[in-house]
Amino acid sequence: MTEDLLHFIWKYKLLKFTSYYTTSNNSLEIIKFGEHNKDAGPDFTNVRIKIDETEWAGTIEIHKRSSDWFSHHHDINKAYDNVILHVVYEHDKDIYNSKQQVIPCLELKNILVDDVISKYENLYQSKQQIPCGSLFNEVIDITRESWLDRMLVERLEAKTDFIKELYNFMKNNWDETFYLLLFKNFGFHVNSDAFLQIAKSIPLTVLLKHANSSMQIEALLFGQSGLLDSNLKDDYGKSLLKEYDYLKHKYGLTPIPHHLNFLRLRPQNFPTIRLAQLANFISSYQHTFSKIMESNSVTEVKKLFAISVSDYWKKHYVFDEESIFKEKALGNSSIENIIINTVCPLLFFYGKEKQDDSIIDKSVKWFDELKPEKNHVTKLFEELTFKTKHAGHSQALLQLYNNYCTYKKCLQCNMGVSILSKNNRRNFS
């Protein structure tokens, strides 16, 4: 038994009867259960009750045992003087406030609905990765979908915290913020931090000065990444190094200290190929963020990322080692990954900053136009027969799993609430 569970029981009115008695044997009617207070002070506010013939309005405090009142020092805290009812699982002691007034008590132990505690214990003690897995299909579709909608927004809210840091770092410049976020996500997890450092080490304005020369942009990007050195053997690598030495001195650049990771990556995902694609993107960069803002569909946005690599990289995955010719254009799954992790979160943040609901709605709506991601989390839910229909679902499931299921926060999850309160909820005003 936890206080969180008792709060949940009170909030959702999971009690057997409609009339009760206090521990002093006075009749008790609960007119209004009140509102859950998550700040300092008593647990529920705006409560209305009737004891015998007298009606009271105020707050209630909930504890596992009555004596917890004294353990928490509420008896000397004036903020608790307006408590009109002490609600406990087990009554073991009469309590009073700072005015020495005895506070009526309601003991819950024998008036709880029969299975709410056992259901909660089953969830809390579950060994499954998704605690409610065996009961997941009890949740009706409208509850599940509305909660996943909320999870998607919650995930976007969490991502905006990081985007705001980038926005502040770039002195509120939207193009530069987009540039940093794009580079980070082009690193695709393994090299995301290193790619972000590359972007931070060389301003977008410097790269755009050389937009008419993909070779110079590659020299800057590969040079800043630390991939150019005097041991390069082929002519192209040597020419990039020579160009970089000149540009490095011209702009006072310092290569990043990080080493790019090639391990456990498919050749098409090597950081060399990703940097070559970014160089191609910068070469054709024409106010891309503004174009994204003006786009009305994911299809329009995808066209902005239809990028390939220079001729050298069509025959190489790394310097000095020639391979079979391949275009190495950015694939559809990679483009969708960028839209999911760069475009939509940045649009969401932009809408928040500008207080423009239409942009926020667009950023959320675009997830419905993207294929769902495939990962171990979506697989877990699919094993529960849940069909992941679009990227909005897969992003929401990541938020749900990582922030609720993993920590067994079933009482804070609407699906957990639905399972625990199913067939037990009473109707009160």
Cβ contact 287:296 at 8 Å: no
Question: What's the pLDDT at 427?
Answer: 38
Please check whether residue 395 lies inside any domain of the structure.
no
Q: How many domains does the chain have?
A: 2
Q: Are residues 62 and 178 in the same domain?
A: no
**Stretch 40-46: mean pLDDT, rounded?**
96
Cβ contact 378:130 at 8 Å: no
Q: Are residues 86 and 200 in the same domain?
A: no
Cβ contact 310:276 at 8 Å: yes
**Stretch 198-219: mean pLDDT, rounded?**
96
Structure tokens belonging to residue 288: 């891309």
Please check whether residue 344 lies inside any domain of the structure.
yes
Please check whether residue 207 lies inside any domain of the structure.
yes
Residue ending a domain, choose from 314, 343, 366: 366
Does the predicted TM-score (pTM) go above 0.85? yes
Cβ contact 116:420 at 8 Å: yes
Q: Are strands 44-51 and 54-65 parallel, antiparallel or unpaired?
A: antiparallel
Q: Are residues 180 and 284 in the same domain?
A: yes
pLDDT tens digit sequence for 141-190? 999 999 999 999 999 999 999 999 999 999 999 999 999 999 999 998 89
**Stretch 408-427: mean pLDDT, rounded?**
79
Q: Are residues 194 and 82 in the same domain?
A: no
Print the domain residue range for 335.
170-366
Please check whether residue 329 lies inside any domain of the structure.
yes
Please check whether residue 414 lies inside any domain of the structure.
no
pLDDT tens digit sequence for 374-405? 999 999 999 999 999 999 999 999 999 999 99
Q: How confident is the model at residue 423 (pLDDT cuts 50, 70, 90)?
A: low
Q: Are residues 95 and 174 in the same domain?
A: no
Q: Are residues 310 and 243 in the same domain?
A: yes
Q: Are residues 307 and 176 in the same domain?
A: yes
- CA of residue 189 relative to chain centroid, distance: 16
Q: Are residues 218 and 106 in the same domain?
A: no
Q: Is the pLDDT of residue 424 over 70?
A: no
**Stretch 64-86: mean pLDDT, rounded?**
97
Q: Is the pLDDT of residue 82 over 50?
A: yes
- As a whole number, the mean pLDDT across the chain is 94
Q: Are residues 198 and 316 in the same domain?
A: yes
Residue ending a domain, choose from 340, 366, 392: 366
Q: Are residues 335 and 200 in the same domain?
A: yes
Please check whether residue 119 lies inside any domain of the structure.
no
Q: Are residues 217 and 314 in the same domain?
A: yes
Pick from 110, 13, 126: nearest CA to 424: 13
Please check whether residue 323 lies inside any domain of the structure.
yes
Please check whether residue 236 lies inside any domain of the structure.
yes
> Whole-angstrom Cα distance, residue 49 to residue 66?
19
Pick from 21, 78, 69, 74: nearest CA to 49: 21
Q: Are residues 224 and 361 in the same domain?
A: yes
By CB atoms closer than 10 A (0-12, 13-18, 19+), residue 76 is exposed
Cα radius of gyration (the chain): 30
> Whole-angstrom Cα distance, residue 401 to residue 381?
9
3-class DSSP assignment, residue 4 = helix
Residue ending a domain, choose from 342, 366, 390: 366
**Stretch 84-108: mean pLDDT, rounded?**
96
Cβ contact 377:397 at 8 Å: yes
Question: What's the pLDDT at 426?
Answer: 43
pLDDT tens digit sequence for 319-365? 999 999 999 999 999 999 999 999 999 999 999 999 999 999 999 99
